[in-house]
Each structure stands twice: as structure tokens, then as C-alpha cells.
Amino acid sequence: MRTFCPVSSYHSQRILASVVIASLIVRAVFSALVPLTVQGSPVLLAVIACAGIGTSALFVVSLVAYRRRQTGQYRLISAAVGVLVLRSLIGAGTVLGAVPMPVHHFVEHSFDFLIAAMILYAVYAHAPGSLGEDVTSD
């Protein structure tokens, strides 16, 4: 039994050829703009540089806040933001070819865990009614 197809075989071949050509053009343009390799990618290096500048500015602000307050909570927050700056340095080292990709992944994911642990410890350990304080009821 023959099924009805509104598009002829000729038209479907032309559509398929157009899709293939468009795909090749997009792939060539994308590859030229954003290299698929990490090493030497100017776009990726620019993004990492912006992140490094931003996190460095936040690190300075967190150090000023710690200097004003002089508490453990602010020290932990400053340390966590400092680790964010280190993440940017590791990323730049990877793009520039100084840090191998397996080392990059291990170090950056370890830094992610360390940052999360420091922030959570700063929140929970220094919260009112935390384990280190005696809680008195009214």
C-alpha cells in the first residue's frame, strides 16, 4: 500500500541537501569563532580573564569586610572568594597549556567542594544557636 507524501522525492532531496549545507556552514563558522579545543582559545581566555578580574575585585571587597569585622565568619568568606580567584588562575593555565586537563578537572572540582564547605561552615558554625554556643530559652 502506498502512503501519501505531500513532498516529492525531489523536494525531500533538496531539503536534505540544504540542511547538510547549512550544517556544514554553521560548523565552519562556529569553529572559526569558537575553537573546539581549550588550549589557545582567545574567547575562553577572555571569559576567564573577566571572571578573574571580577573575582579579584570581590576578593578585595571581602578582605576589607574581614578587616572591619575581624570575625571567623568573614575570614571564611574571604578565603572562599580567594579560592574563586585561584580557580580563574587554574582555568587560564589550562587555556595557556600550562595545566593539563585532568589536573584542571581534579583541582577545579576540589575547589568547588572546598568553596561550598567553607561557605556552609561559615553559615552554620556562626549562626545564632549553633552547636558551639549555649542556647538559653526565654
Check residue 95 and give its pLDDT.
86
Query: Does residue 15 fall inside a structural domain?
Result: no
Which residue ranges of the chain lie beneath pLDDT 70? Answer: 1-20, 22-40, 130-138
pLDDT attached to residue 5: 52
Looking at residue 29, its pLDDT comes to 60
pLDDT at 42: 81
Q: What local confidence, expressed as pLDDT, does residue 132 receive? A: 57
In a domain, 119, yes or no: yes
Residue 10 lies in a domain: no
Structural domains of the chain, count: 1
What is the phi/psi pair of residue 71, to 5°? -115, 160
Q: How many CB atoms lie within 10 A of CB 75?
A: 16
- What are the backbone angles phi and psi of residue 65, rounded to the nearest 5°? -65, -40
Element (H, E) at 115: helix 101-125
Q: What is the pLDDT of residue 137?
A: 46
Q: Which domain holds residue 105?
A: 38-125
Q: Is there a domain that residue 133 lies in? A: no
Integer Rg of the chain from CA: 26
User: Quick one: pLDDT at residue 38?
Assistant: 63
Residue 133 to residue 125: CA distance in whole angstroms? 9
* Average model confidence (pLDDT) across the chain: 77
What predicted TM-score, i.e. pTM, was given to this entire model? 0.63
95 is a domain residue: yes
Which cell numbers in the block locate residue 36? 573546539
Position 48 scores a pLDDT of 86
